[in-house]
Amino acid sequence: MLGGAEIDVREMHRNMALTLFDKIWNDHLVAVRPDGRALVYMDRTMLDEVRAPHVFARIEQRGLAVRRPDLTFVVQDHSVATAPGRTETTRADSAEIILATRASSHRHGVRLFDLHDPEQGISHVIAPELGMVLPGGTHACADSHAATVGALGALAFGCGSTELEHILTTQTMALARPATMRLMLHGRLDPVVTAKDVILHVIGRLGVDGAAGHAVELAGPALTAIPVEGRFTLCNMCTELGARTALAAPDDAVFEWLHGRPMVPAGAAWDVALAGWRGLRSDDEARFDTEIDIDCTGLEPQVTWGTDPSQTIGISEAVPDLAAAPPGREAAWRRALAYAALPSGKPITGTPITRAFIGSCTNARLSDLQAAAAVIRGRKVAEGVQAVVVPGSMTVRRQAEALGLDQTFKAAGFEWHESGCAMCAGGSGARANPGERIMSTTNRNFEGRQGRDVRTHLASPAMVVAAAIAGRIVDVRHLVAGEA
Amino acid sequence: MLPFTTLTGIAIPLLIDDINTDQITPAQARRSLHPDYHAAWFSRWRLDEAGNEIADCVLNAPQYRGAPILVTGRNFGCGSAREGAAWAMVARGIRCIVARSFSDFYRANCVQNGILPVTLDQVDMAALERAVTEASGTHPVTVDLEGQAVISPDGERFSFTMDPAERMMLLEGLDDIGLTMKHMSDITGWEQRTAEEQPWLQAIPKV
């Protein structure tokens, strides 16, 4: 049975072939506990002010200590005010946690990116920006969008507060191994179509639990053609597929992007590290539990119409009716259509908006602000629209100012803020009034997230600027071409 | 952590898919050092703008006050990783959630707080949903973690499977950190080895 033997050899080879996820997981596997949980070492941990005071207090109550303060970082991002000139007490209701975060971070000797720190920003923006997270490394962050940094070829996990206590005291996570999914992005993106449009389309196709229980590896020609900062957007919103984590194999673009950043190894250490990082890719024969192929050719700019990120359409399409709901999703769609208050069968373009928000861990890096500013071309925000830009970090803010982008935004009528999560989840107190409709570069359009009875439409930075200028949802491609 | 063995109590039918963490506990609750999770629990659904209870919200129905079991839809707890969305259940006395499915983050946060997350097969789940809706708080549900079964208000018994690590943790109210601390020499060994092989992972330039 020669043929059978050959197949077995190939089978063996396949069994040895590893995915990128396997390689990093195996490299960081410390032990397997008697209950079956894998202890996976976390190279870097980050937490924010909505968790820090509570978690540090719990650790103190138990008489435990932060095991590696040198690998632990705290940031004030979720609840801080972002309007220029902010202080700890700009918002009376968050002053307490901001001050408690400062005190507890100092007590435990961890590096805090505090309110007035020149490096302050949104955790998922500053972690890669500083080179804190490296290819082949692991990262824990007490926030669901931790996987953003997976774009560098790192393995990142979000977690809750009790899991965070475990990480801070043991430097490991006790995990069940997730299933693996490869999400192949084929084809070529048209101009003005961005990573945001790709990931909204993917979520629309797979649904908000389409990657539940999975570690997602993004791959394919459309992925490698997307600049590194766009890949952060892709990995960031895999959370909205229900993914446990997301990552992409690092390539030369990633290595160039990282080189010279403050926390990245330098000199001879860089060369040694780089040699190892070049092996960070899934083996050709590696098997994934789930394989998904998406063709990005001809994809239009996307915009969401409903109350979850899967409820998305191309900008030339009409708001769907209930008949278009995926099987089993009819009830969710009925609720969403009622909340959205848009007529089914009518184009989404022309829908008036009252606010435009550019910000968040999804779309507030320098390239996002550049893409947004490029749409303005001397035009002004429409009357009756409040438009705000909140850079992802104070570093992004300085870089944008060096390029004069702040002047472009301000001249058009945008507010130019300091950094934080701001209106993404309303945690900073920035909320819209009942009945308002927002075009937003954020990641969640959940009912009430940006204010009671507020409707959120998710889109790319360019699409949000186009809507701000027109005062209604429009196809940015027409605006760029001067038609709208 | 409070161990979970068997629980008998009224089940609330909240048969909506994709209930997210913004619905369970709005983000505003997190700006406080000591949030009132009892009040935050589903506050946008339970309360109007003035803070008055909305009469036709199932969560306000008299027969469901103090009910310890929630029966709900697919992808429950999607969205944020915020643990407050589990603490709000604890604050309201919810000890078991039977859902069509859970988000990974929410499921982990439940187990960390002694809340049993149960999923049944599709046919059984549909039968339980019907029975709980029909019972409307007149007959209780029993959830038996040792026997891995749910007994519906009409007496029908449905079995469920569970990750052994989660089951053990809930049954014994185990301390997760304590379990891992037994592996401290493995952790130290990993750090020493990595400091030699990939020193950049163990030492960070000060910024």
Cβ atoms A143, A236 nearer than 8 A: no
Please report, for residues A124, A381, B170, the alpha-carbon distance to residue B149 in angstroms, rounded to integers and kept in the order given. 41, 59, 15
pLDDT in tens, chain A (484 residues): 344 445 566 566 556 899 999 999 999 999 999 999 999 999 999 999 999 999 999 999 999 999 999 999 999 999 999 999 999 989 888 999 999 999 999 999 999 999 999 999 999 999 999 999 999 999 999 999 999 999 999 999 999 999 999 999 999 999 999 999 999 999 999 999 999 999 999 999 999 999 999 999 999 999 999 999 999 999 999 999 999 999 999 999 999 999 999 999 999 999 999 999 999 999 999 999 999 999 999 999 999 999 999 999 999 999 999 999 999 999 999 999 999 999 999 999 999 999 999 999 999 999 999 999 999 999 999 999 999 999 999 999 999 999 999 999 999 999 999 999 999 987 666 778 899 999 999 999 999 888 889 999 999 999 999 999 999 999 999 987 765 4
Residues 203-222 of A with CB under 8 A from B: 208-209, 212-213
CA angle A329-A330-A331, nearest 5°?
Answer: 95
Element (H, E) at B180: helix B176-181
From edge to edge, which strands make up the β-sheet containing B96-99? B11-14, B69-72, B96-99, B116-118
Percent of chain B with pLDDT over 70: 100
Beta bridge partners of B157: B151
Q: Per the CB < 8 Å rule, is B104 touching A244?
A: yes
Q: Per the CB < 8 Å rule, is A162 touching B83?
A: yes
Q: Per the CB < 8 Å rule, is B163 touching A176?
A: yes
Mutate to test the interface with A, among B1, B16, B17 (most CBs of A within 10 A): B17
CA distance A350 to A85: 36
First to last CA, chain A: 70
Q: Name the minimum distance, in Å, from the CA of B76 to any CA of chain A.
A: 10
Q: Which amino acid is at B174?
A: L
Q: How many CB atoms lie within 10 A of CB A276?
A: 14
- Which pTM was predicted? 0.95
A111 vs B contacts (CB less than 8 Å)? 206-207
Closest by Cα among A471, A418, A468, A426 to A88 = A418
Which are the contacts of A210, defined by CB distance < 8 A and separation ≥ 6? A203, A241, A242, A310
Calculate Rg over the CA atoms of chain A.
22
Surface-to-core class of residue A392, CB atoms within 10 Å of its CB (0-12 exposed, 13-18 middle, 19+ buried): buried
Q: Answer whether A263 touches B (CB < 8 Å).
A: yes
CA distance A462 to A472: 14
Closest by Cα among A345, A408, A343, A334 to A371 = A408
Q: Name the minimum distance, in Å, from the CA of A143 to any CA of chain B.
A: 6
Whose tokens are 């300085």? That residue is A398
CA distance A411 to A349: 26
B23 vs A contacts (CB less than 8 Å)? 446-448
Backbone angles phi, psi at A171, to 5 degrees: 65, 15
Q: Per the CB < 8 Å rule, is B103 touching A176?
A: no
Mutate to test the interface with A, among B163, B177, B188 (most CBs of A within 10 A): B177
Q: Per the CB < 8 Å rule, is A96 touching B32?
A: yes
Q: Which amino acid is at A104?
A: S
Cβ atoms A361, A443 nearer than 8 A: yes
Q: Per the CB < 8 Å rule, is B180 touching A174?
A: yes
Residues 425-484 of A with CB under 8 A from B: 425-427, 429, 434, 444, 446-449, 452
CA distance A226 to A249: 13
Cβ atoms A218, A244 nearer than 8 A: no
